[in-house]
Amino acid sequence: MIMSNKNKYSLETVEKVYSYWGKSLLTYKLGVSFFGFDSYIRRKALEELKLKKGSTVVDLACGQGIMFRLLEEKIGEKGRIIAVDYVEEMIKQCRKLAARKKWGNITFIKQDAAKLRLKNNYADGIISVIGLSAIPDHKKALKNCHHALKKGSRLVVIDGKDFSSKYKFLNPILKLLRWSKSYEKKDLINDIKKIFGNIKVNEYFLGSTFMAVAVKR
């Protein structure tokens, strides 16, 4: 099927949709709430990152910075968070949050993750929570993550997928719950595996959410 430009998922769409989301904390929080298991699943991701005090971690497509508190607890004030998001409104909310919490160790980068060029062997970990699916050129973004990670460090991705086969009859519901445009034609798990050469996947909520961990070898 040929998609018209109007329907193509692009940076323009990202700008439009997430500028609105950035202004509305309630809508946004509901969108990333994981049916009330938000804290549980984010803590699991944090464990998988294997960060230490003083680590440098990238929060890719960080949104309003919901991951910051857990990351700060883990890395401490000598650590560094590199917060990347394409949308100005999101970065603005992140800056406000950091100022309110007096977190002085966050670097904010307003950038398309596909164009992000961090130093090679720089990061001790990269996390993306419902971020990868939102990035139009997620494959380029993944290559940039691979480049930026230190050897032995991890990329942890939490994102959505279709229900696992036993429950696939529920898939039409996802169209209603999810802003499905960004999920079209993306096989995030396979793409992570291709670029990193390894992957561990855990599924949640009958398979409709996954956590992928890939190690830079």
Ligand X SMILES: C[S@@+](CC[C@H](N)C(=O)[O-])C[C@H]1O[C@@H](n2cnc3c(N)ncnc32)[C@H](O)[C@@H]1O
User: Rule CB under 6 A: is residue 32 a binding residue for ligand X?
Assistant: yes
Binding test (CB under 6 A) with ligand X, winner from 41, 49, 58, 66: 66
- Mapping DSSP onto H, E and C, the string for the chain reads CCCCHHHCCCHHHHHHHHHHHHHCHHHHHHHCCHHHCHHHHHHHHHHHHCCCCCCEEEEECCCCCCCHHHHHHHHCCCCEEEEEECCHHHHHHHHHHHHHHCCCCEEEEECCHHHCCCCCCCEEEEEEECCHHHCCCHHHHHHHHHHHEEEEEEEEEEEECCCCHHHHHHHHHHHHHCCHHHHCCCCHHHHHHHHHCCCEEEEEHHHCEEEEEEECC
> Which listed range, 44-52, 58-66, 95-103, 189-197, lies at the site for ligand X (CB under 6 A)?
58-66
User: Rule CB under 6 A: is residue 18 a binding residue for ligand X?
Assistant: yes
Binding test (CB under 6 A) with ligand X, winner from 61, 75, 98, 106: 61
User: Rule CB under 6 A: is residue 86 a binding residue for ligand X?
Assistant: yes
User: Rule CB under 6 A: is residue 87 a binding residue for ligand X?
Assistant: yes
> Which listed range, 1-9, 62-70, 94-102, 149-157, lies at the site for ligand X (CB under 6 A)?
62-70
What is the 3-state composition of the chain as percent helix, strand, coil, each rounded to the nearest 5? 50, 20, 30
| Cα separation, 154 vs 171, whole angstroms | 30
Separation of CA 176 from chain center: 21
Q: Which is nearer to ligand X, 83 or 199 (CB)?
A: 83
- The contact pattern for ligand X, residues 90-119, with x = CB under 6 A and - = no contact, is x---------------------xxx-----
**Binding footprint of ligand X, residue count (CB under 6 A):** 22
Binding test (CB under 6 A) with ligand X, winner from 46, 51, 56, 63: 63
Q: Which is nearer to ligand X, 69 or 167 (CB)?
A: 69
Q: Tell me if 78 sits within 8 A of 51, measured CB to CB.
A: no
- The contact pattern for ligand X, residues 127-166, with x = CB under 6 A and - = no contact, is --xxx--xxx------------------------------
> Which listed range, 94-102, 126-134, 186-194, 207-215, lies at the site for ligand X (CB under 6 A)?
126-134
Q: Which positions touch ligand X (CB under 6 A)? A: 14, 18, 32, 61-63, 66-67, 84-87, 90, 112-114, 129-131, 134-136
